[in-house]
Amino acid sequence: MQSTFSFDSETEEILSRSVLRLKYLYPKAKIKLINKSITFDGECEFELINQEVHKVVYSEKIYLETLDIRKKIFNDL
Amino acid sequence: MSYKFFPYNFEKINNKYYLVTSQAGDFFFCNEENLKKLINKNLDKNFINFLFDKNFLFESERDFHWNNFKYKILKRKILPKTIGYYMIVPTLRCNLNCSYCQVSRVDENTKGYDWDDITLKNFFNFVEKNSLSNIKIEFQGGEPTLRIDIIDKVIKWCEKQKINAEFAICTNLINFNKDIEKVIANENVHISTSIDGGHDIQNCQRANDKGRTAQFFKNFDYISNKYGIEKISALPTFHDFDQIKPTIDFYYSLGLRTIYLRPVNFQGFARKKHPESKTQINTWNKYYFDALNYIFESNYKNKNSFIMEFAFATNLRRVFQKGSNGHLDIRNPNFAGRDNYIIDFDGKLYPSDEARMISRIGLVDLSMGDIVNGPEKEKINNYNWNQISDVNPDCIHCSFQPYCGIDSVDDISRYNRIDLPKHKTSFCNNHISKFRDIFSRIVSNDPVNIFNLTGHLTNIFTLNPPFSKIIYD
């Protein structure tokens, strides 16, 4: 089953990292990033992959946005 | 008001709530609408104040919020700089032959598997060099009471050196004589033993001899009656999961306060005799959570007779009590050669009992020096690079990372490698399930859960929850 998820307000960096992570988590699926949309083609229920794609994208967003803080905190320890 | 975010993660807990955890381990729950506001930084004043209170935001580097956050991370990660815990193996010999023995053992009459006087002296030198005045020594085996003379010498040496030491003897309690009683009469000595269930189960899984099984329970009763049930801790091992609830009932009847529910560990002799133990984590967890509910309901109904489940209590402390870093299975970093050592019958040092087990079967040599020449620092450093979850690509996105641990030895034991994606490992599946369960119970507002959460965390079972303001609606 093929599903497409759009993330117009997110950056290319967040989305490309998300695709990399999704490929790692779902090695048998075909996952592509085209124009800020992630296409997932593989055997998975829509509700599950919908939740998973959003979780991965938002996790990457939070991670990237707080990475500097993470580094500073650890340097400060 | 200007603000910046500390690192955080989120996780769907149930149909209503998401769990949001900071890297320092603070947490709260919110619905999907508020989660979106959080991620998109579309926050109103109330939400901002809530997030400051929860230590998810700061205004500027090194302000109060920053230092508070940093302190919590330090508390969660700091390990003692001297060795405070020794697990020692005065003999590898054992008078039983259990099918799922996870530790190494040889026959009771085999020669060459005991500490000699030189090893004992080397151990004393090692303790003097590496420890301060507060230590705990656990006597493992084999069956350590076969060398009660060594145990006695170790205890007396600690007393002579004015070392404030606690001792635990891990024994099958088959043999109990006057020499052993003299040692355990010491108030600093505790007994740890295995009780898999009632007489029939214990006989089937342990002694395989009705007379010896009867002797075990006679010895157990004698010690608990004379010295109090607090003198003894017991833990079961299950390979027939239908026996979990009857065993819990049996623990209640014995007056034991703690039970550690665990399946056969894929270690030692169990690797051959119970190969199913390698991959049964999902099946086990179904039984485990069912059993946990059973304990919770029993505690709530009984009101004056409680049992704590050890793994639940340990994981719960990792959530609420920053600095609960003593349990090797569930801490991060989990550095070897820092605050504990296993010292085998031949004086070799290991980072954990599991490391000793897989070395013994020849899978990989995880010995890290010996008590004569000291720790092998280079080997320990190489090992320790894989004992940090903060740089693992799977763990950094996990909401439970602040509380969870890391255990390369378990991965090596099951998969012969340490670089599998974490979510494919038994360790990860086990702990994610357990932390998800804990947070589901926290947000449930169910009196049975609150009663047991409080009890497992504080040892006082009440309906006053040990947390507040955990939901942002």
Buried b (16+ CB within 10 A) or exposed e, B299-326: bbeeeeebbbbbbbbbbbbbbbebebbb
Residue with tokens 């702990």: B431
Residue with tokens 């360790």: B427
B39:A73 CB<8 A? no
A66:B423 CB<8 A? no
- Length of chain B measured in residues: 473
Contacts of B10 in chain A (CB under 8 A): 55, 58-59, 62
Could you tell me the pTM of the whole model? Answer: 0.94
Q: Which fold, A2-76?
A: Alpha-Beta Plaits (3.30.70)
Distance set, CA B144 to CA B99, B139, B191, B291 (Å) = 19, 6, 11, 32
| Burial (CB count within 10 angstroms: exposed 0-12, middle 13-18, buried 19+), residue B355 | buried
Contacts of A59 in chain B (CB under 8 A): 9-10, 397
Nearest residue in chain B measured CA to CA from A58 = B39
B23:A73 CB<8 A? yes
One-letter amino acid of B83: I
Asked if B170 contacts B140 with a C-beta cutoff of 8 angstroms, the reply is yes
- Taking residue B116's Cβ as centre, other Cβ atoms within 10 Å add up to 12
Cα B359 to chain centroid, rounded: 21
A21:B397 CB<8 A? yes
Does the CB of B289 have a partner CB in chain A at under 8 Å? no
Q: What is the pLDDT of residue B207?
A: 81
Angle B83-B88-B91 from CA coordinates, rounded to 5° = 165
Residue of B60, B70, B389, B398 to mutate for A, most A C-beta atoms under 10 A: B70
A59:B423 CB<8 A? no
Q: pLDDT tens string for chain B (473 positions)?
A: 799 999 999 999 999 999 999 999 999 999 999 999 999 999 999 999 999 999 999 999 999 999 999 999 999 999 998 999 999 999 999 988 877 676 678 899 999 999 999 999 999 999 999 998 899 999 998 999 999 999 999 999 999 999 999 999 999 999 899 999 999 999 999 999 999 999 999 888 888 889 999 999 999 999 999 999 999 999 998 888 999 999 999 999 999 999 999 988 777 666 777 777 777 888 999 999 999 999 999 999 987 889 999 999 999 999 999 999 988 889 999 999 999 999 999 999 999 988 998 898 888 999 999 999 999 999 999 999 889 999 888 999 999 999 999 999 999 988 999 989 999 999 999 999 999 999 999 999 999 999 999 999 999 999 999 899 999 98
User: How many inter-chain contacts (A to B, CB under 8 Å) are there?
Assistant: 54
- The CA distance from A66 to the nearest CA of chain B, in Å, is 5
Does the CB of B63 have a partner CB in chain A at under 8 Å? no
Q: What is the pLDDT of residue A72?
A: 92
A76:B7 CB<8 A? no
B6:A62 CB<8 A? no
Contacts of A58 in chain B (CB under 8 A): 10, 39
Tokens of B371: 């008590």
Residue of A23, A55, A56 to mutate for B, most B C-beta atoms under 10 A: A55
Of the partner residues B61, B70, B397, the one whose CB lies closest to the CB of residue A63: B397
Domain ranges of chain A: 2-76
CA distance B331 to B339: 13
CA distance B2 to B5: 10
Of the partner residues A21, A65, A77, the one whose CB lies closest to the CB of residue B73: A77
Nearest residue in chain B measured CA to CA from A54 = B36
* Structure ipTM: 0.90
CA distance B346 to B331: 28
Tokens of A75: 């340097």
Asked if B358 contacts B366 with a C-beta cutoff of 8 angstroms, the reply is yes
